[in-house]
Chains A and B, each alone.
Chain A
């Protein structure tokens, strides 16, 4: 139980295009999901907290207009990187919290490369 999937697992896109990453909780409901970004040889940096049915809360320094987060259902959150630039190339990991608990489970990550 408590499986989180991410799609795609890797993506290559051209500079200026937009990319959508999906995070799904497969066997539980997740009122809250978190999006992290990890650059090579660095730790996970929290980008935003996504709450079902409401606007996401972004961490300081994260552009909300560039990283669009939608959490339209209790099992799906999406992160859209708009007008991607090479510096957005990174490993993006989501986690989903089981509703009513503190327990968080991580997706396998999405490796984004912007050329």
Chain B
């Protein structure tokens, strides 16, 4: 069975602080993909990143960075110098690319960035 755990339900930071959102996953598959999505108050899911299980390179995109560690089954997301516009719910998700399976989502972390 596949499972995604986001232990942090809510995080509140002051603008310009760095913040890391944790994601731990469980899967028996050797091939899988991990995702992060942002859900602003409008509700629409915004795709942020996809990482396959064979690529453990960390990635940086502007103020966003991701740390993928297979040894600890974690795929953490860091926002540097947070801004008010970063306030949203962030979901980590997992999929097995084989078979007719949907994305498995974590419960999400609600991030509030205070000015």
A residues near B (Cβ < 8 Å) are 32, 34, 38, 41-44, 46, 49, 51, 91, 93, 95, 101-102, 104, 106, 108-109, 111
Contacts and interface: CB of A to CB of B under 8 A. Distances in A.
A47 to B, nearest CB: 10
Interface stretch (B20-28, B65-73, B101-109): B101-109
B106 A43 contact: yes
B102 A34 contact: yes
Interface string B20-52: 000000000000010001000011110100000
7 contacts: A34-B103, A43-B107, A49-B100, A95-B103, A104-B102, A106-B45, A108-B42
B91 A44 contact: yes
A111 B43 contact: yes
Given A38-B43, A108-B42, 15 more contacts: A41-B110, A42-B108, A43-B105, A43-B106, A43-B107, A43-B108, A51-B100, A93-B45, A101-B97, A102-B95, A106-B44, A106-B47, A108-B43, A109-B44, A109-B45
**In the complex, which of the residues A32, A42, A43, A91 has the most CB atoms of chain B within 10 Å of its own CB atom?**
A43
Looking at chain B, what size class is its interface with the partner chain?
Answer: 20 to 34
Nearest to A43: B107
B95 A108 contact: no
**Shortest beta-carbon contacts, A-B, top 7:** A102-B97, A108-B44, A43-B107, A106-B45, A34-B102, A109-B43, A43-B108
Contact of B103 (A51, A104, A108): A104
Which label, helix, strand, loop or mixed, suits the secondary structure of the A interface? strand
Contacts of B100: 32, 49, 51
Nearest to A6: B44
A12 to B, nearest CB: 16
A95 B108 CA distance: 18
Nearest to A34: B102
